[in-house]
Amino acid sequence: MKPPPTRYRVVEKGRRLVVIDTLTGAPVHEHPASGAPAQPPVQRSPAGVDDGSVFTTQPWFDEKAPRTVRLNHASRQQIKNLRFAVAIVVAVCVALSFLLWPFFPILLFVLLVQPKLHKQARAGVTRWVDGFDQAA
- Confidence at residue 40, expressed as pLDDT on a 0 to 100 scale: 79
User: Once rounded to an integer, what is the mean pLDDT over residues 77-86?
Assistant: 93
List the single range of 26-30, 45-49, 71-75 with lowest mean pLDDT.
Answer: 45-49
Which amino acid, 1?
M
Query: Do the domain assignments include residue 79?
Result: yes
One-letter amino acid at 114 equals Q
Say if 21 falls within a structural domain: no
Q: How much is the mean pLDDT over the chain? A: 86
The answer to whether residue 60 sits within a structural domain is yes
* Domains held by the chain: number: 1
Separation in Å, CA 105 to CA 55, 90, 112, 116: 31, 12, 10, 19
Residue 19 domain-assigned (yes or no): no
**Beta strand segments in the chain, E:** 8-13, 16-21, 54-56, 68-70
Q: Is residue 23 part of a domain?
A: no
Which carries the bigger pLDDT value, residue 75 or residue 136? Answer: 75
User: Is residue 117 a contact partner of residue 111, using CB atoms and an 8 Å limit?
Assistant: yes
Beta strands in 15-91 (DSSP E): 16-21, 54-56, 68-70
Check residues 136 and 127 and name the one with the higher pLDDT: 127
pLDDT higher than threshold 90 for residue 89:
yes
Instruction: Note whether residue 81 is domain-resident.
Output: yes
Assess if residue 20 is contained within a domain.
no
Phi/psi of residue 56, each to 5°?
-105, 125
pTM of the model: 0.56
15 part of a folded domain: no
The pLDDT score that the predictor gives to residue 35 is 67
Q: Residue 116 — very low, low, confident or very high, per pLDDT cuts 50/70/90?
A: very high
In sequence order, the 6+-apart residues with CB closer than 8 A to the CB of 133 are 67, 69
For residue range 53-78, list pLDDT tens digits in order.
888 899 999 999 899 888 888 888 99
83 is in which domain, residue-wise? 54-135
Report the C-alpha gap between 67 and 52 in whole angstroms. 15
* Other beta carbons within 10 Å of 1: 2
